[in-house]
A = this chain, B = another copy of it.
């Protein structure tokens, strides 16, 4: 399948290129040309799309989510994290089957596509069913382990890490576990062994609430990252989800181990967890990416909301209107997300890279006038601006319609059925 996207504005996200007018050619899953307009291309294309001057850029990378929780949206809100997990989430989750998670993950992918998200970094249960759901949608997904003391056996992440990560697949896997506060010392030691055996980076929820950090200090005399580092869990790097409450020691571990942070501002507000110190991370040279967190804690999977919140909350936290400008946020949402997820071929638009591309409708009033397109996206953009979402060269969403292999009505019906059975 050869596709031509012409008459476009293009933001490659390669430093210094800015926005230019031109076109992109795609052969199979990869980009074969990005550059100025080609008035009469010699190649034959299966599909040619006139972009009408709209903007093409790399798709957003949702670098932390729990796609399979979508039935829980708006089920229990307005509660702090610990009560919400223990009273509302964990008891319902215990009833989920792999088939439930297959359909609920697909519901989340439908929403990702409306928001220009072309891949996600997913942490949940029944991960083979998640991979099947994502593959059936044609969606790129990096999974990480969400195991803890309530899982059958934390060793499953070793099996999954070695099963996925095949060349040419849309599915990949990185080692991970849920969090320090849900994982006993015995299991942490098993996880450390798996890290060492695979010489692989590790991902986890950490430093999300003040409470969590205080409890870890009570248990082990250290804040979470400082403690976990003593077990060798970060010997091969990795990253943390949330990272709101950072001690100096934990920030030091982040730097020393080159850990990344994935910030989840919508969820951190909704659960009253706090505002992450994004300016401080950047000052320390730590890579920041962005995630929506799951549909139960956000409740939506909208990258425009998250991008605005990253800069808006930084401005509030620092009492400084110049904190974290739009270009930095756009980099976190695309390039940094790809790097954190080890999707090095999905970071920018260039020949040889994966064709994970979105089209932003600039002919909507919120994008007018075109004073500064990058600022317009971060400060004014909304899902309504997503004209097209392409993953690995395949258009999955275009002008409000899904590709023919995706059937939203069936997915809505399946998730309603799960809701009726479970609640």
Contact = CB atoms under 8 A, between A and B. Distances in A.
A71 B369 contact: yes
27 contacts: A73-B376, A75-B372, A77-B375, A78-B321, A78-B325, A80-B320, A84-B321, A107-B365, A107-B368, A108-B365, A266-B312, A269-B312, A270-B379, A272-B318, A272-B323, A295-B380, A299-B379, A300-B379, A302-B380, A302-B382, A365-B412, A368-B416, A369-B412, A369-B415, A371-B419, A382-B384, A383-B384
Contacts of A275: 316
A383 to B, nearest CB: 4
B379 A382 contact: no
A304 to B, nearest CB: 8
A183 to B, nearest CB: 24
Interface string A262-304: 0000100111101100000000000000000001001111101
B365 A408 contact: yes
Interface string A320-362: 1111011000000000000000000000000000000000000
B380 A300 contact: yes
A316 B295 CA distance: 19
A384 B384 CA distance: 5
B270 A315 contact: yes
Interface string A77-92: 1111100100000000
A114 interface: yes
A70 interface: yes
A225 interface: no
A136 interface: no
A218 interface: no
A77 B326 contact: yes
A363 interface: yes
B315 A269 contact: yes
A379 to B, nearest CB: 4
A64 interface: no
A323 to B, nearest CB: 7
